[in-house]
Amino acid sequence: MAADWLGSLVSINCGVTLGVYQGEVSSVDQVSQTISLRQPFHNGVKCPVPEVTFSAMDIKELKILDIRNGGSQVGVADSGCYGRNGRGGVSGAPAGSAPVAVPRKGELRSQEGLSSPQQCSKSYGERHLEAPGQTKGFRRRHNSWSSSSRGPSQATPKKNGLKNGGGAMKNKDDECFGDGMDEGLDKDFDFEGNLALFDKAAVFSEIDTSERRGNGVRSRGTPGERTPSRYRHDENILEAKPIVYRQITVPQHSGKEYCTDSGLVVPSVSYELHKRLLAVAERQGLTLERRLEMTGVCASQMALTLLGGPNRLTPKNVHQRPAVALLCGPHVQGAQGLSCGRHLANHEVEVILFLPNFVKMLEAITNELTLFSKTGGKQVSSVKDLPDTPVDLVINCLDCHENAFLRDQPWYRAAADWANQNRAPVLSIDPPVSGQEQAVEAKWSLSLGLPLPLAESAGRVYLCDIGVPRQVFQEVGIKYHSPFGCKFVIPLHST
């Protein structure tokens, strides 16, 4: 009966030391309890010797991968029928185990020429086999052939209701494992022959040619394709005409120019031209109240960003509210500061307003002061009431474009000295032109509409949009195209 197993493909597990061998059974000796494999593989690698012989004492587990009986071939999945017998030897005949008939490659094959049904014990339970001529469902391995390897006319074999390990076998087990191997393990993949088909020198030559055409930047297309123009992530690939960076022109040069982050040129204007622009805007309907509100919104938005923005003004940080000292004078610039302070107080910023008691104030200041008092902000009229400790930000609105005599007032000098001695950074709103020396050195300055030629002590210049229409610019002789883009406050750089 040992001759019935010749030519079958088996897998022999010899433990951790010797490893696992696979190969075709060439001989089985029941007397010496040995089995020999032809063209063996050791741990998935083909052995250098044509045949290996194993003793029963070395075999831990034996699995039959493929049974070849005469001209027919019967597949066995994970049978493990070559195991140790009751005497501690290897059963070399079917008397120790019986193969299981399973479907292979689109057809169900019956067991022919095999012995009576037997049982094969495994570590995970006992498999019950059927009589010859009957088909049997089996557990499919997920790492073997998938269910798609079955032929189109072959259905999944059904369970016959027998027990497996004392429990009912479920239909879902049929899809958990695949068929056995169809091909022998006697053929190696020819790596050298396959590599010879790849002409590496020709391919790299085409790549080098493509890189030279693309100025050293590798193209994502085929090496033979023409390399297109290269664009950065922030460039427009549908650009049809060159960009004009000087989109704003003024009737007379004031001696200083700025540029935006995108490269647009923003020329400065004289105070006389700026004053005439605001007068025309007010005549067209852009009143002082509208300009004050727009300036307050832009300045407060810039101040909130300087104070930390979303990293500081959060509901979880109510115990560390930022403090801002607002220094205002009795003029339009002071009213702009009051509008900014009102919006900051509405955003949970602690605002301390310094505004001296004047006998006569502008109507705009009176209105803004009334609105500011509704926010709960603190107002002081003496420098002694300002905080002794540094605040987070100082907003300077003490200076005026026209009245330079205010700088000789005691309250002005005291407020300027306090701002210079306080270690907080200073933001100036609508500071005067460079001809007037600023008493408070600022870190940032915010200009309105178009910048004035500011001095170096004004710090970094920002520009805010106060809503002046383009036709108003044209009426005063300024060719204007908005440089703000999607923002209302943009930084300017000196050229």
Per-residue pLDDT at 236: 65
Whether 128 and 222 share a structural domain: no
Is the pLDDT reported for residue 185 higher than 80? no
426 pLDDT band, cuts 50/70/90, is very high
Whether 32 and 123 share a structural domain: yes
Region 119-127 average pLDDT: 37
Is the pLDDT reported for residue 14 higher than 70? yes
128 pLDDT band, cuts 50/70/90, is very low
Region 267-287 average pLDDT: 94
Whether 205 and 298 share a structural domain: no
202 Cβ neighbours under 8 A, 6+ residues apart? none
300 pLDDT band, cuts 50/70/90, is very high
178 pLDDT band, cuts 50/70/90, is low
Region 327-342 average pLDDT: 95
Contact 298, 488 (CB under 8 A): yes
Is the pLDDT reported for residue 177 higher than 70? no
Question: Is position 331 within any domain?
Answer: yes
293: domain CATH number is 3.40.50.10260
Per-residue pLDDT at 162: 45
Region 86-111 average pLDDT: 38
Region 209-235 average pLDDT: 60
Is the pLDDT reported for residue 108 higher than 70? no
Question: Is position 246 within any domain?
Answer: no
Whether 261 and 301 share a structural domain: yes
392 vs 308: CA distance, rounded Å: 10
Question: Is position 59 within any domain?
Answer: yes
Region 393-414 average pLDDT: 89
141 vs 27: CA distance, rounded Å: 29
Is the pLDDT reported for residue 326 higher than 60? yes
201 vs 430: CA distance, rounded Å: 67
Closest CA to 121 of 167, 79, 180, 161: 79
Region 211-226 average pLDDT: 54
Question: Which structural domain range is residue 227 located in?
Answer: 189-241
Q: Which tens digits make up the pLDDT trace of 28-82? A: 888 888 989 988 998 888 888 889 898 888 898 888 888 775 444 444 434 333 3
Which of 72 and 392 is assigned the larger pLDDT?
392
338 pLDDT band, cuts 50/70/90, is very high
The three-point CA angle 398-403-408 to 5° equals: 70
Contact 297, 307 (CB under 8 A): no
Question: Is position 400 within any domain?
Answer: yes
Region 215-237 average pLDDT: 57
Whether 348 and 413 share a structural domain: yes
Alpha-carbon distance values, 72 to 7, 64, 148, 424 (Å): 11, 16, 24, 95
Closest CA to 307 of 297, 294, 320: 320
Region 263-290 average pLDDT: 94
Whether 55 and 139 share a structural domain: yes
Per-residue pLDDT at 151: 46
Region 330-359 average pLDDT: 93
Helix axis angle for 332-346 and 363-373, nearest 10°, is 20
Say which range, 19-33, 124-138, 187-201, 233-247, has the weakest mean pLDDT.
124-138
Whether 163 and 276 share a structural domain: no
129 vs 117: CA distance, rounded Å: 7
The SS3 call for residue 166 is: coil
Which of 162 and 420 is assigned the larger pLDDT?
420
Q: 175, 200, 224: which is the final residue of a domain? A: 175
Percent of the chain scoring above 70 in pLDDT: 70
Percent of the chain scoring above 90 in pLDDT: 40
Region 141-153 average pLDDT: 43
412 vs 385: CA distance, rounded Å: 15
Q: Is 409 exposed, middle or buried (0-12, 13-18, 19+ CB in 10 A)?
A: middle
Alpha-carbon distance values, 438 to 163, 237, 402, 414, 420 (Å): 98, 46, 13, 14, 11
Which of 446 and 89 is assigned the larger pLDDT?
446
Question: Is position 252 within any domain?
Answer: no
296 vs 299: CA distance, rounded Å: 5
246 vs 255: CA distance, rounded Å: 16
Whether 329 and 372 share a structural domain: yes
Per-residue pLDDT at 193: 82
Per-residue pLDDT at 305: 94
Question: Is position 408 within any domain?
Answer: yes
Whether 219 and 120 share a structural domain: no
How many domains, the chain?
3
244 pLDDT band, cuts 50/70/90, is confident
Question: Is position 182 within any domain?
Answer: no
Q: Is 154 exposed, middle or buried (0-12, 13-18, 19+ CB in 10 A)?
A: middle
- Strongest mean pLDDT among 161-165, 250-254, 311-315, 443-447: 443-447
Region 445-468 average pLDDT: 93
Say which range, 132-146, 344-358, 388-402, has the weakest mean pLDDT.
132-146
HSE at residue 215, side-chain half, CA atoms within 13 A, is: 4
Whether 101 and 153 share a structural domain: yes
Is the pLDDT reported for residue 139 higher than 50? no
- Strongest mean pLDDT among 124-128, 191-195, 400-404, 482-486: 482-486
What's the mean pLDDT when you consider all of the chain? 77
Which of 456 and 220 is assigned the larger pLDDT?
456
124: domain CATH number is 2.30.30.100
Question: Is position 183 within any domain?
Answer: no
Whether 265 and 343 share a structural domain: yes
169 vs 156: CA distance, rounded Å: 15
Whether 206 and 132 share a structural domain: no
Say which range, 14-18, 114-118, 365-369, 429-433, has the weakest mean pLDDT.
114-118
Closest CA to 178 of 284, 265, 105, 72: 105
Which of 326 and 35 is assigned the larger pLDDT?
326
Which of 208 and 186 is assigned the larger pLDDT?
208
Which of 171 and 156 is assigned the larger pLDDT?
171
